[in-house]
Amino acid sequence: MDIVSLIIQLLSGAAGGILAGNLAKNVDLGPLGNTIAGAVGGGVGGQILSSLLGLASTRAGGLDIAGIIGQIIGGGVSGGILTAVVGMIRAAMAK
């Protein structure tokens, strides 16, 4: 695990969580909740996806643009998914 990859995944996960909360108001956790859930989802999900798909952001000691794009997509998507899942659970518990 590379610290640069983790930072990219956390930031893109936070952005994905914010986007998911803004697009689907029924799963919105508020600005802070969307950011935290997205960052956690981006970090965890991004690491899992990069392990499964073999997307490493470093090759031969340098940053690879394809790896960085993979980290951004993996982190953003998994951050949005976790935010939506937590929002659905929260909405179901409120009923």
Residue 57: per-residue pLDDT? 46
CA angle, 56 then 60 then 62, to 5° = 75
Residue 65: per-residue pLDDT? 87
Distances (CA, A) of 76 to 37, 64, 92: 11, 18, 24
Q: What global pTM score does this model have?
A: 0.85
Cβ atoms of 65 and 57 within 8 Å: the answer is no
Say how far apart CA 34 and CA 25 lie, in whole Å: 11
Q: Which residues contact 72 (CB under 8 A, 6 or more apart)?
A: 8, 12
Choose between 65 and 39: higher pLDDT: 39
- In the predicted model, is pLDDT for residue 73 greater than 70? yes
Q: How confident is the model at residue 1 (pLDDT cuts 50, 70, 90)?
A: low
